[in-house]
Amino acid sequence: MHALTTREFRLFQSLVHREAGIFLSDQKRALLVGRLTPRIRALALPSFGAYYDLVSADRTALAQMIDSVCTNETSFFREAWHFDFMAKTLVPEWRNSSAPVRSRTIRVWSAACSTGEEPYSIAMCLRHHLPEEEGWRIEILATDLSTRALRAAQDAVWPIASAETIPEHYRRAFMLKGEGSRAGLMRAGRPLRSMISFRRQNLHDAYPESGPFDLIFCRNVLIYFQKEARIRLVKRLTSLLGQRGYLFVGHAEGLNAEYGVRAVAPSIYVPIPGSEKGAQ
């Protein structure tokens, strides 16, 4: 198989940006080669150029290519202070303003859920602090660009080693340990799985008409967008937040007023009133 030429890299760079809104900088060239080479070999194609021709003409092949390019690095309770903020700041706030002032339904969007560790971490934290027997309902929409990652998230099965970052009391309450042929694996229990619905969503496309949300998690995604696209994305996300809604981003994705938000804690933001107008 021929090496990736500069012209071919530019073609893939443009295609990924157009289809997914993700900008592959020149520093991502080696990553692109590593992600696409297995697909090209599996299809017995002679070159990156031949693969580009295929994905340009076949939407199924294109979706598989985007799947391959997407980064699905994640873990349970990643950026743990976000969950501390929910437990120590938001839960008391919600309890103090519950019915008749507000509904006892908490709605969350995990906007880049990868293989599911994020939405299940959110579900464990919220269900522990807002039990069903007290009338609290937790609804979590989990979306991702990658169909492969979404299938894994819906299965809700992970290696036991993944449980190391789950607090023990959560693990005992919500996770099932595999036995027999499933030894070494764990699965989220049915009550936890019932709180989460999954959907493929390209953040570059029209959004689900599912707002308003109390919380939107869009962590470690903005770094793949150029500045203008980041601003547009943040404003679109915050337009779907309800009154007193919060946006959570990755620790390396600092935002400012230019994005129409203000920080309430590290990497946790609320919209500046009126700033989200026209975001759609």
- 3-class secondary structure per residue, 7-19: HHHHHHHHHHHHH
Does the annotation count 144 as an active-site position?
yes
pLDDT value at position 277?
54
List the CATH number of the domain containing 51: 1.10.155.10
pLDDT value at position 174?
96
pLDDT value at position 83?
97
pLDDT value at position 6?
93
pLDDT value at position 11?
94
Does the annotation count 58 as an active-site position?
no
Count of C-beta atoms within a 10 Å radius of residue 80: 12
Check 67, 78, 127, 144 and give the catalytic one: 144
Q: Are residues 49 and 100 in the same domain?
A: no
DSSP single-letter state for residue 2: P
Q: Are residues 111 and 234 in the same domain?
A: yes
pLDDT value at position 90?
96
Range of the domain at 236: 81-271
Q: What is the pTM of this model?
A: 0.86
Cis peptide before 131 (omega within 30 of 0): no
Check 29, 35, 102, 104 and give the catalytic one: 35
Count of C-beta atoms within a 10 Å radius of residue 256: 10
Q: What is the mean pLDDT of each run of 10 residues along the chain (280 residues)?
A: 88 88 86 91 92 92 84 86 97 82 87 95 97 94 91 94 94 93 93 95 79 92 87 93 93 90 95 66
Could you tell me which residues are beta bridge partners of residue 222? none
Q: How far apart are CA 111 and CA 187, in angstroms?
A: 22
Q: Are residues 257 and 210 in the same domain?
A: yes
Q: Are residues 131 and 259 in the same domain?
A: yes
DSSP string, 16-84: HHHHH-----GGGHHHHHHHHHHHHHHTT-S-HHHHHHHHHH-HHHHHHHHHHHS-----TT-STHHHH
DSSP helix/strand/coil, 223: helix
pLDDT value at position 87?
97
pLDDT value at position 74?
86
Q: Are residues 252 and 193 in the same domain?
A: yes
pLDDT value at position 31?
87
Q: How far apart are CA 126 and CA 137, in angstroms?
A: 10
User: Do the Cβ atoms of 77 and 166 come closer than 8 Å?
Assistant: yes
